Amino acid sequence: MTHEALRNEITEGNLLRGLLAVSLPILVSNLLQAVVEIVDLYFVGRLGPDAIAGVALATSLIFFLVTVLIGIATATAAFISRAYGAREYPEIRTVLFHALVLGAGFSLILMAIGAFFSTPILLLMGAEGAVADAGAAFLSTFLLGIGSLVLLWLLIVSFQSTGDARTPMYVMVGVILVNIVLNPVLIFGLGAAPALGVAGSALATVLARTMGLVILAGIMFRRKGILSLPENLSFDLSLVRRLFGVAVPSALQNGMRAFASLALMAIVTAYGAAAVSAFGIAYRVEYILLMPGFAFATGTAVLVGQNLGARHPERAEQGVRISLLIYGSLMAACSVACILFAPAILGFFDPSGASTPAGVSYFATVAPFYVLMAASVILAFAMNGAGATRIPMLATFLALVLVQIPLAVWLPSLTGAGLSGVWYAIAIAIIVQCAALTVFYRRGHWKSVLL
């Protein structure tokens, strides 16, 4: 399907076909990425609960550190999809150039953090001994190669925002296959490769993404189409301010989410390595389950942005309803599966069985609310796609900062539930966030945001 034909489906034709044309290629990439997560956690799990806990802590910290970059990616998608819907193609090239420059600049900061501060930060988080060593090895390796991941990510977002989700999908298939092959090779030292442990897991990700960046950039420069660099490479500070007007609330939203995750990790750490390992496994499983949702949510953001650019707000709302139905149904099934098969899931990732009791308790408490989590993802992405990033930011602040963290501290002692009290806090926060996003969405202010 050509760019113009896809645009007609999104802004003028069959909305379901347009949504699926964007979302399904992203879904394929995300499902393959979920396979990588499973393979990665499986092999890391063979190194023991301390390795699982260390990687879980490092992953939470990475999510916190990349919040500014998430904001830049969100703003890039909103600006490019809106410009594409309005057929303002030179604006697309200018936005892409500025996004890549900003992404590269912030990546350099993260590389410095990885090189000099990995161990001290993890120690401040409460990690000790083997857990801290494993986390630092993963974190420093990952951050030293973060530039390739960020630039690839921005290119993928830009392709998707113009409706071309297939090209990055084809590239990511190759990237993910390479990642899967490199994982055991670099973790355990197969053949001539050295055994790098958890650092090998991070290095496999970096090397595979670097390959993907080279390929996708090559495709973009060879095509010289709508998505390319502008002839004038001057830096426009007014555009940077507009980008940051959308990026900063998104970054704050994800920063609060990451801060809440780090806070929960710190709270759970007090219950021992087995509890951290269980939470780390549950966190990865939920991330895997969110992969299809991120695909439909990204497609929704593109659909919303292009239709607002084309001045069709009613079609944007219709597309959101379709996405809610599709992803809500999927997460309802996942909720049942996680509750029924929790012991098998935990045993697969941690053969020692140390993580199983806490993990089973987690899924029994939190999984019943996965449908509300699905609704939150779709609604937040829809409003982000409109450039209304302040609304999801406020909902996140309410649910995670004002509700989840205090309750995670107080409920275990107030109710005598111990670790289960932390799980109750997570479930309550999911309910609050979905309710807040629903109220904000129904007010409709997101349809009139100017970029």
Residue 313: CB partners within 8 Å, gap ≥ 6?
307, 447
Query: What is the pTM for the complete model shown?
Result: 0.80
Share the mean pLDDT of the chain. 88
Residue 329 has what pLDDT? 94
The alpha carbon torsion through 211, 103, 4, 246 (nearest 10 deg) reads 150
- State the SS3 of the chain: CCHHHHHHHHHCCCHHHHHHHHHHHHHHHHHHHHHHHHHHHHHHHCCCHHHHHHHHHHHHHHHHHCHHHHHHHHHHHHHHHHHHHCCCHHHHHHHHHHHHHHHHHHHHHHHHHHHHCHHHHHHHCCCCHHHHHHHHHHHHHHHHCHHHHHHHHHHHHHHHHCCCCHHHHHHHHHHHHHHHHHHHHHHHCCCCCCCCCHHHHHHHHHHHHHHHHHHHHHHHHHHCCCCCCCCCCCCCHHHHHHHHHHHHHHHHHHHHHHHHHHHHHHHHHCCCHHHHHHHHHHHHHHHHHHHHHHHHHHHHHHHHHHHHHCCCHHHHHHHHHHHHHHHHHHHHHHHHHHHHCHHHHHHHHCCCCCCHHHHHHHHHHHHHHHHHHHHHHHHHHHHHHCCCCHHHHHHHHHHHHHHHHHHHHHHHHHHCCCHHHHHHHHHHHHHHHHHHHHHHHHHCHHHHCCC
Question: How many separate domains does the chain show?
Answer: 1
Question: For 366-398, what is each residue's pLDDT tens digit?
Answer: 999 999 999 999 999 999 888 888 899 999 999
Instruction: Collect the ranges in the chain with pLDDT lower than 50.
Output: none
Residue 155 has what pLDDT? 95
Residue 229 has what pLDDT? 86
Question: For 176-205, what is each residue's pLDDT tens digit?
Answer: 999 999 999 999 988 778 889 889 999 999
Residue 7 has what pLDDT? 59
d(C-alpha 57, C-alpha 353), whole Å: 20
Full domain range(s) for residue 55: 3-448
